[in-house]
Copies of this chain bind each other. A is one copy, B any other.
Amino acid sequence: MSQTAYQAVVATFTRIYRYEHLGSLAGWDQAAMMPSKGNDARGAAMAELGVLIHNTLTDPALAELIKGAEAEDLSAAEQASLREIKRQWEHANLLPASLVEAKTLVGSHCSHEWRTQRQNNDWQGFLANFREVVRLSREEAQLLAKETGLSPYESLLNKYEPGMSCAELDRIFGDVKSWLPGLIRQAMEKQATEQVIAATGPFAVEKQRALGLDVMALLGFDFEGGRLDVSNHPFCGGVPEDVRITTRYREDDFMQSMMGIVHETGHARYEQSLPRETVALPVGRARSMGIHESQSLSFEMQLGRNPAFLALISPLVKKHLGDQPAFEAANLAKMYTRVHPDFIRVDADELTYPAHVILRYEIERALIDGEIEADDVPALWDEKMQAYLGVDTKGNFKNGCLQDIHWTDGAFGYFPSYTLGAMYAAQYFATIRKQQPDLDERIAAGDLAPIFNWLNANIWSQASQWETGELVRRATGEPLNPAHFRKHLEQRYLA
């Protein structure tokens, strides 16, 4: 039996999946295990693997095979698979190797120097490198735009959130901007008279870890197919068959590590639950960054900060960290919903977080589309921080526009995923609640199955079978609708 072109394409992408397995492991190990002197050799090995994968994807024979497969009589499932294969293939083939290489070099240089420049609040030093990053990112965006018919910024956005347009983002974020500042103000007024009992540390790392493992078990993490470790920047890595999540511990604060673990467990269950038959192919992988974040935020925001869930885990917290008034369910709920506009996105609460994202979206879009220059970023940053959150960042680059790593190596277009994820999650839970009106009672009783079953049926098992819009419509009966997000926030923060 001779192989069809489609089968040959599948064989190639299966091979790439196995290469990626090694790269993913190497990345996890680098962050969680590797001693410092291993870094150069690791970097060289990972770069060599990158070249290998790029060469495999840009092999002219593969282009022929894909063309051949498109002409074959494929089932609907195979057509969806080929659609996702083409997306990955085009991503590797649309850009000239020289541009990819230049952007990687300039980006990793800028990123490396940024670490100290941020510490030194050195905007001018950063700017010298950053201008080059912007220049090359614009070049990339324009080349992609020419091929895809999207706007330059949209072309970058589509690397992370395929199918998303600026018109759609403007509609959604515009809606959020119309009510978020008022909601933040009202919530702060309401919380002004609230008594919150602070937890008294220190909290030994081993005890926090044991608590984290118990919470992961409660959330259905499969420990035969994954691990929990420590890294500087928490992430979910590994491969679907072996998912590695990380956290970081501070002895004076248990809140971040615990909720960070809830967040990463959301990512992990998505990966662990992807259908195994197609796991080696793009159609069998996670849908997008926004959908991935919708899983971690379903766990962290919809479930994790829900008072019913905090009541459920309050005994676990007491068991591992000792009994103290701060760990009473009602107080945990207050601790985890405290609203406080501040400088840093990654430390932001649920309510102010979208403002940080929208600000970045507006700036990076203008930057890529050429409406502003790199030099204009700090003034615009300050203006928007004042407007959205009432925070003054003048001259404070370190905790202002220098705080994130994303732009330093040209990952423009990523930020919207965070808030899209939060909004998808709110929409899922509105749907789940319709089917399960007593959801909070279920959660408090420790029955999380309604949530896991719904996510599994509607998101996890669907992988990349559908375009994002179709996935959300099939799951919730409507396109992304910011009303659910607003209603969720109003109920949690004003009710």
Task: Tell me the nearest residue of chain B to A279, going by C-beta.
Answer: B41
Interface positions of A from 123 to 138, Cβ below 8 Å from B: none
Query: Is A48's CB under 8 angstroms from B241's CB?
Result: no
Interface residues of A, count at CB 8 A: 33
**Bound-complex Cα distance A109 to B45 (A):** 31
Partner of A42, one of B21, B26, B38: B21
List, in ascending order, chain B residues with CB within 8 A of A19's CB.
45, 48-49
Interface flags, A455-480, vs B, CB<8A=1, else 0: 00000000000000000000000000
Most chain-B Cβ atoms within 10 A of its Cβ — which of A23, A35, A223? Answer: A35
Are B26 and A22 in touch, CB under 8 angstroms? yes
Question: In the complex, what residue of chain B is closest to A223 when comparing beta carbons?
Answer: B35
Proximity string of chain A (5-35) to chain B, C-beta cutoff 8 Å, 1 when within and 0 when not: 0000000000100110111011001000111
Nearest CB of chain B from residue A229's CB, rounded to whole Å: 9
Report Cα–Cα, A427/B238, bound state, in Å. 47
CB pair A29–B25 under 8 Å, yes or no, is yes
Contact indicator B41/A227 (Cβ below 8 Å): no
Residue numbers in B under 8 Å from A239 (CB-CB): 38, 41
Is A225 among interface residues, defined by CB-CB distance under 8 A?
yes
Q: Are B48 and A18 in contact (CB under 8 A)?
A: yes
Complex contacts, A21 vs chain B, CB 8 Å: 41-42, 44-45
Q: Are A45 and B26 in contact (CB under 8 A)?
A: no
Q: A68 CA to B331 CA in the complex, in Å?
A: 76
Q: A37 touches which one: B40, B44, B48, B242 (CB < 8 A)? A: B242
Q: How far apart are A326's CB and chain B's nearest CB, in angstroms? A: 30
Contacts A18-B48, A41-B242 known; 18 new A-B pairs at CB < 8 A: A18-B41, A18-B44, A18-B49, A19-B49, A21-B41, A21-B42, A22-B22, A25-B25, A35-B223, A35-B227, A36-B224, A37-B224, A37-B241, A37-B242, A38-B225, A38-B238, A40-B241, A41-B239
Closest-CB distance, A205 to chain B (whole angstroms):
13
